[in-house]
Amino acid sequence: MTEKKDLKWELEALYASYGYEKYRMAGFEEYALYLENKSFLTSDKMITFNDLDGRLMALKPDVTLSIVKNALPASGVGKYYYTESVFRPNRASDGFKELTQTGLEAIGDIDAVTVTEAVELALKSLEHAGGEYVLVLSDVRFTEGLVHAVGKGAELKEELRDVIAKKRTGEVEKISEKYSLRKGDAKTISEVINLPPEPLKALDKASKYAFGKEANIAIDELRALVCAFSGTRYAKKIQIDFSITGNTNYYNGILFSGYIEGIAGGVLKGGRYDKLVGEEGKGAVGFALYTDEITEKYFSEARFADVVIDYDGTDIGKLLASANALRAGGKSVTLVRGGKADYKFRKGELIKNER
């Protein structure tokens, strides 16, 4: 029988093995924290209430802000992991949804090793989650260098960001005509949108369109990251895609997004966000894995047991003794009368009937 797995436990054990410590927070923070940093959040809509002392509080829509506010070390790097619920509007924006996420943050004196380690842990997190996966890397410095080189004026720059983020190649020519872009600019944008899947080939191609010092640094750092995993089982799990964009008010470097086959949208989001820290010489990198859909698909505990005892007219004392003997041996046991229950099982696991 396949060993039972608990995604939260596996991830927390993984992060702890890298020297990250558990960060625990309350279910709410002062609303002012989120108000001051609302552009960092995915939505400015929050569930608020007045505390007994009159302060306006909010059920937390984010974990990163709390860690940066409360756990930034005076020197060195603070490494933290967490499993928390956040409260955000659902996709239809007609109500709030409680989402569970497990993630990590490294804040303080960040360097290339810290960033590479975060990417490695992102890859391992996706691997633990189950299913075929890919981690897509990007960098805000490259994208912004391109946008500022091609676009003149705030309106055009915003349209270019939107086209790149949504990979709307068909609209590039329209924008070129609308704003009378220089010859070759439309091709440049289209080329960046349609990079090859092999990461080093993608970076070689993108390097032709790295405008400015920061964009070239971004290409070099991405190449170093890809090469760090050369020859490992993760080498073919990495792609480069500059449609992965971030809020430039906070993100200042690498961005990454993780995808798992069979689950719509990205299940992992992260990146370098030194600007949020707001202290000279201090930085931060981290990610969050949104575990609800993963758990439902690969780790569902619903109506699951190692052993199902199908009882009907059984002596209750003997029934309980049999079940407890199995539990003492490390198995989970459920009791079903007449086999009437509808069971769902983790992938690859079977039911065993015993009387």
Q: What is the pLDDT of residues 157-167, one digit of tens each?
A: 999 999 999 99
Residue (of 83, 126, 61) closest to 268 by Cα position: 126
pLDDT band at 300 (very low <50, low <70, confident <90, very high): low
pLDDT above 70 for 353: no
Q: Using one digit for the tens of pLDDT, what is the confidence trace for 92-138?
A: 667 888 888 999 999 999 999 999 999 999 999 999 988 899 999 99
Question: 86-95, 141-150, 192-201, 320-329: lowest mean pLDDT where?
Answer: 86-95
Give pTM, 2 decimals. 0.81
Task: Write down the mean pLDDT value for the chain.
Answer: 87
| Whether 7 contacts 294, CB under 8 Å | yes
pLDDT above 60 for 12: yes
Neighbour-count burial of 256, counting CB atoms closer than 10 A to its CB (0-12 exposed, 13-18 middle, 19+ buried)? buried
CA angle, 107 as apex, 14 and 57 as ends, to 5°?
Answer: 95
pLDDT above 70 for 226: yes
| Whether 285 contacts 331, CB under 8 Å | no
Q: What is the pLDDT of residue 44?
A: 80
Q: The dihedral of CA 81, 283, 218, 230: what is its sign?
A: negative
pLDDT band at 339 (very low <50, low <70, confident <90, very high): low
The tokens of 138 are what?
């990007």
Give the chain's domains with CATH numbers.
Answer: 133-260 (3.30.930.10), 307-354 (no CATH)
Residue type, 15: Y
Residue type, 250: Y
pLDDT above 70 for 11: yes
Q: What is the pLDDT of residue 250?
A: 84
Q: How far apart are CA 139 and CA 216, in angstroms?
A: 11
Q: The dihedral of CA 123, 73, 13, 98: what is its sign?
A: negative
Q: Using one digit for the tens of pLDDT, what is the confidence trace for 249-261?
A: 888 999 999 999 9
pLDDT above 70 for 1: no
Q: What is the pLDDT of residue 351?
A: 40
Residue (of 351, 136, 116) closest to 243 by Cα position: 136
Residue (of 125, 81, 85) closest to 268 by Cα position: 125
